[in-house]
Structure 1
Amino acid sequence: MTPDHDSQIHEAQPADQGRRPRLLRHGLCSVTFRPLPVVKVIELAVSAGLSVVEWGADIHVPPGDLAVAREVRSRTAEAGLAVGSYGTYVYLGPDCEFGPVIAGALALGAPRIRVWAGRTGSAAVTAAERAAVVASARELAARAEDAGLTVGLEFHDGSLTDTAESTLALLADIDRPVINTYWQPPPGLDDGATLAGLDLILPHVIAVHACSLSPTGRWLPLDARRRLWEAVVARLVARGVPTDVLLEFVLNDDPLQFAEDAQALDAIIRGA
């Protein structure tokens, strides 16, 4: 289970606005600015010099609204940006409906769908709940593969991807190459433990959500954890697989802080 298929799609997307293509594309998750309209999110991404957008399904591109998805796709392309992924709030488990998000991803031109690995953390999940998540993931894998899409699991607490170890075990149980995982720094860990977890699941990382939280959970400018992000980017570059690194949430939801974080991320990627 490696992100090779997603990488091939990644390479086919537009290059960075006239610059040479990068191994790592830096971008934005639209959920960072949920209250803003699509056109403003695009303006912020362009002004920050970003390359790619993960459009969220909760506000900007609702599942089932294919007209909106097509319009967002067109506006994104006109701005010189790529659509990297469709960030959905599908929670794997019983009675999942995948049709609207698959249709939405295709209309949006997103090569990848992000979903959640259930609603229960790995320490509390029952065997039946876990089996339901695995079965649901396998069903999604078959449908996504038929549609030419890849799938990334949100790496997040309150789900079966709440730790690197649990994520690795879940991916082994699902055992479908089309499904891999996102990654972001888990809350409450220092740099060493954070990087050790990344090292464990790095072969399966399909995209990265870049945010900056202190080990105690306080929001910081991205540059405040520059050493961590330099180490993360160095690992991604050494791996040699094209990967999206997407800014997700910023201190005080501030567009000016977002611009600073984008500049810091760009400098880190360029310096790798």
Structure 2
Amino acid sequence: MNFKKEIGKIGEEEFAKIVSDIKQAAQLAQSQNVSLHLEFHQGTYTDTTESAKRLIEEIDEPNVYLYWQPLAYTSKEERLEQIKELSAYISNVHVFQWDSEFKRYPLADGKNEWNDYINQVQTLSSNKHYFLLEFMKDNSIDQFEEDAVVFKEILA
């Protein structure tokens, strides 16, 4: 499956319209002391480091940020590089463990990996961060509770 919808693959006119719309929304939000957070996510205009960075920089509003999450089609090393490149723009992080086929696993299976991601986010970005657990294996409440315990261990 190819979920990439890179900005570089859309026309400049469409890109300019997206930037204009988000910029307008950001300015309206700022007038109410609200920030906007775009999700770094496959199948969107922020599905690569380059496209996310270009979009945020073109918007150029102080209240526009990114939610970071691991893209299914990238390696751990690529993800750490994404965090490094996007650190100035990352606000919040979506936490889950899955593979390139979107098969969900217990967070414990990626504990070391997530320890590295979270350390990198907290070290490189001066923004305040919130972490959201999502995509539990089997959509299970019990799995959520287990993942929460593991996540608390990672943060400790």
TM-score, reference length from structure 2: 0.90
> Which one-letter code corresponds to 1:233 in the other structure?
I
Contact 1:121 1:157 in 2 (8 A): no
Q: 2: CA distance between counterparts of 1:132 and 1:185?
A: 27
What SS is found at the alignment partner of 1:243?
coil
How far is 1:236 from its partner?
Answer: 2.7
- Residue 132, structure 1, aligned to residue 17, structure 2: yes
Contact 1:247 1:262 in 2 (8 A): yes
Rg comparison, structure with higher value: 1
> Which one-letter code corresponds to 1:183 in the other structure?
W
TM-score, reference length from structure 1: 0.53
Q: 1: CA distance between counterparts of 2:52 and 2:26?
A: 16
How far is 1:142 from its partner?
Answer: 0.7
Aligned-pair identity in percent equals 26
Contact 2:6 2:51 in 1 (8 A): no
How far is 1:150 from its partner?
Answer: 0.6
Task: Identify the structure with the greater helix proportion.
Answer: 2
Structure 1: 4+ residue segments shifted above 6 A: none
Contact 2:83 2:121 in 1 (8 A): no
Aligned partner of 2:123 in structure 1 is 238
- Residue 210, structure 1, aligned to residue 76, structure 2: no
Aligned partner of 1:141 in structure 2 is 26
How far is 1:237 from its partner?
Answer: 2.8
How far is 1:123 from its partner?
Answer: 4.5
Aligned partner of 1:193 in structure 2 is 78
Q: Where does structure 2 lack aligned partners over 5 or more consecutive residues?
A: none
The correspondence of residues 97-112 of structure 1 with structure 2, limited to 5 A, is none
Higher-RCO chain (CA-CA 8 Å, sequence separation at least 6): 1
Deviations 1:211-236 (A, max 9, x none): 11124432111111111100011123
The CA RMSD measured in Å over matched residues stands at 1.4
> Which one-letter code corresponds to 2:137 in the other structure?
L
Deviations 1:47-99 (A, max 9, x none): xxxxxxxxxxxxxxxxxxxxxxxxxxxxxxxxxxxxxxxxxxxxxxxxxxxxx
